[in-house]
Amino acid sequence: MKNNPLESAKQQLLDIAKILELDKKTVDRLLKIENLVSGEISVKLDNGRIQKFKAWRSQHNSACGPYKGGIRFHEGVTVEEVQALSMWMTWKTAVVGIPYGGGKGGVVVNPKNLSKSELQRLSRAYIKLIAEHIGSDKDIPAPDVNTNAEIMGWMLDEYEKIVGRKEPGVLTGKPLELGGSKGRTEATGLGGSYVLDSFVKKLKKQKKNVSIAVQGFGNVGSYFAKFAYKNGYKIVAVSDSKNTLYNEKGLNIDKAFDYKAANDTFKGFPGGKLLPAEAVLSLNVDILVPAALENAVNEENVSKINARHILEMANGPVTPRAEEVLTAKKILILPDVLANAGGVVVSYFEWVQNLQNYYWEKEEVYAKLKKLMDKAFASVWSEFERLSKVSKKSTLRQAAYSLAVQKVVGAMKARGEN
Ligand code: NAD
């Protein structure tokens, strides 16, 4: 199957399993989704009609702790995608060393076609479907594409009604009023900016001489661009699903951020010119940051990539085939499981705060996030150097997977699996 994210996720695992010389039984166990909740949820529309939506929650592996992963509302969601994303969550939580397994949820819907009250009914119906499978010590969902703090608030309310008790730690990415953490909204972008800093130090380059193009200007892309801009990098392009906003001298990201928030488009922004949406991928920049959806860089467009390196802020934005081509060109790819882990790290902090009923200031959240991301980068980099001594074709993804898979296998063994 072409660009099937589950095939990509499996391929990446098989690749590292070979390097680590894992036995077949262990590999099969790691490939297995432990539990998949599937259903159709019925939502009453404002006009009285009932509409049905396909929905899933995939729980990949819980050896290291409760499942953890976002909920995606998108018309392109498939069961394969949800499973792949849950598998990536297992590795991501292991790479950054937080005590979780991997999960992910999805509903096939274009939320833009729903009114706010319809969206709320959909969110509540989804929680009804998965309620018995989640819990603060079982599976802890969070926002992903097209879901946000407001939706988490509705979902928490529904869950607490079903179980008949307060349990704020069942979901993260909540509004502050319901036990959300300071710093969660911007956490993924901020975490990515810490990884960028560590990487640029390794490249021995000055920030102002590093040009960056960011694909996607939603939660992840916009905050990543904002922090990178604040830290002195030259962001020459940002894009959304309609346009690329480009200025070779560098964009003022704060202004672009406010403009996009006010107008929902880059059209008419005075500080840059508009190019087609896909143009962002082929710009000649030091670092390309795909921060939209998976498969953005694939075997069809990989020959058009002109960036020196790639920082994956979306999940699975570079397909394995495309990665082979890029690796042969010595383009380093900072893998999603490391680069975009900031969101789940602050989700973890939120959960810890919920369990303790003791809340931290934003500065404390940022400092703890930086410490964890810096440590994860350093471990992945040294594993990369180790693997590179064995094979010149080694990648940072293999290094991250190597650490993650060893950790999960270690936890399975410690549980008595053999
Ligand atoms: P979002 O819905 O806030 O934003 C998605 C952005 O992508 C929007 O700007 C949209 O216009 C843009 N987009 C969609 N199709 C595009 C295209 N073809 N070309 C260019 N831009 C396009 O979603 P998000 O939360 O920012 O998530 C983005 C990615 O990051 C996803 O892969 C998600 O799984 C991943 N991620 C999110 C988080 C999080 O905390 N939100 C954490 C880790 C990973």
Q: Report which ligand 1 atom has the smallest distance to the Cα of 72.
A: 34
**Closest by alpha carbon to 229, among 198, 196, 204, 261?**
196
Q: Which residues are catalytic?
A: 104
Residue 370 has pLDDT above 80, yes or no: yes
Rg (CA), the chain: 20
- pLDDT tens per residue, range 319-349: 989 999 999 999 999 999 999 999 999 999 9
Please report, for residues 17, 26, 31, 404, the alpha-carbon distance to residue 14 in angstroms, rounded to integers and kept in the order given: 5, 11, 9, 13
pLDDT of residue 1: 39
In angstroms, the CA 147 to CA 16 distance is 32
Ligand 1 midpoint to CA 184 (Å): 16
Please report, for residues 198, 217, 283, 314, 329, the alpha-carbon distance to residue 305 in angstroms, rounded to integers and kept in the order given: 23, 19, 7, 17, 11
Do domains 32-178 and 187-339 share one topology? The answer is yes
Ligand 1 midpoint to CA 62 (Å): 26
Q: Which CATH number describes the domain made up of 187-339?
A: 3.40.50.720
In angstroms, the CA 226 to CA 222 distance is 6
CA-based end-to-end distance of the chain: 32
Give the burial class of 402: count Cβ atoms within 10 A of its Cβ; 0-12 exposed, 13-18 middle, 19 or more buried.
Answer: buried
Residue 380 has pLDDT above 80, yes or no: yes
Tell me phi and psi for residue 143, to 5 degrees: -75, 155
Please report, for residues 31, 158, 189, 216, 235, the alpha-carbon distance to residue 124 in angstroms, rounded to integers and kept in the order given: 31, 6, 28, 28, 39
Please report, for residues 197, 207, 225, 251, the alpha-carbon distance to residue 232 in angstroms, rounded to integers and kept in the order given: 10, 6, 11, 12
Instruction: Reduce the DSSP state of residue 360 to 3 states and report it.
Output: coil
Contact status, residue 294 vs residue 278, Cβ threshold 8 Å: no
pLDDT of residue 277: 98
Per-residue H/E/C for 92-152: HHHHCCCCCEEEEEEEECCHHHCCHHHHHHHHHHHHHHHHHHCECCCEEEEECCCCCHHHH
Ligand 1 midpoint to CA 241 (Å): 10
- Rounded to an integer, the average pLDDT of 215-242 is 97
Contact status, residue 225 vs residue 189, Cβ threshold 8 Å: yes
Choose the residue to mutate in 73, 263, 293 for probing ligand 1, maximizing ligand atoms within 8 Å of C-beta.
293
pLDDT of residue 4: 85
- Residue nearest atom 17 in ligand 1 by C-alpha distance: 241
Residue 178 has pLDDT above 90, yes or no: yes
Q: Report which ligand 1 atom has the smallest distance to the Cα of 217.
A: 9
Helices and strands in the chain, H and E counts: 13, 12
Residue 189 has pLDDT above 60, yes or no: yes
Residues with CB under 6 A from ligand 1: 143-146, 188, 215-221, 239-241, 277, 291-293, 313-315, 340, 343
- Residue nearest atom 32 in ligand 1 by C-alpha distance: 314
Contact status, residue 302 vs residue 325, Cβ threshold 8 Å: yes
- pLDDT tens per residue, range 53-69: 999 999 999 999 999 99
Task: Report domain extents, the chain.
Answer: 32-178, 187-339
In angstroms, the CA 41 to CA 50 distance is 10
Contact status, residue 197 vs residue 191, Cβ threshold 8 Å: no
Q: With cut-offs at 50, 70 and 90, classify the pLDDT of residue 29.
A: very high
Choose the residue to mutate in 144, 184, 185 for probing ligand 1, maximizing ligand atoms within 8 Å of C-beta.
144
In angstroms, the CA 65 to CA 193 distance is 27
Contact status, residue 313 vs residue 4, Cβ threshold 8 Å: no
Q: Quick check: pTM over 0.85? A: yes
Residue 202 has pLDDT above 90, yes or no: yes
Contact status, residue 347 vs residue 173, Cβ threshold 8 Å: yes
pLDDT of residue 2: 52
Q: What dihedral do alpha carbons 191, 193, 194, 199 form, nearest 10°? A: 130
- Rounded to an integer, the average pLDDT of 294-316 is 95
- Residue nearest atom 18 in ligand 1 by C-alpha distance: 241
As given in the structure block, the two tokens for residue 208 are 């102002």
Of the chain, the percentage scoring pLDDT greater than 90 comes to 96
Of the chain, the percentage scoring pLDDT greater than 70 comes to 99
Q: With cut-offs at 50, 70 and 90, classify the pLDDT of residue 5.
A: confident
Q: Which CATH number describes the domain made up of 32-178?
A: 3.40.50.10860
Residue 126 has pLDDT above 70, yes or no: yes
Question: What b-and-e string marks burial along 309-323, b requiring 16 or more CB atoms within 10 Å of the CB?
Answer: bbbbbbbbbbbbbbb
Taking every pair of Cα atoms in the chain, the longest distance, rounded to a whole number of angstroms, is 65
Ligand 1 midpoint to CA 24 (Å): 35
Give the burial class of 31: count Cβ atoms within 10 A of its Cβ; 0-12 exposed, 13-18 middle, 19 or more buried.
Answer: middle
Instruction: Reduce the DSSP state of residue 363 to 3 states and report it.
Output: helix
Ligand 1 midpoint to CA 186 (Å): 13
Strand partners of residue 275: 244
Residue 93 has pLDDT above 60, yes or no: yes
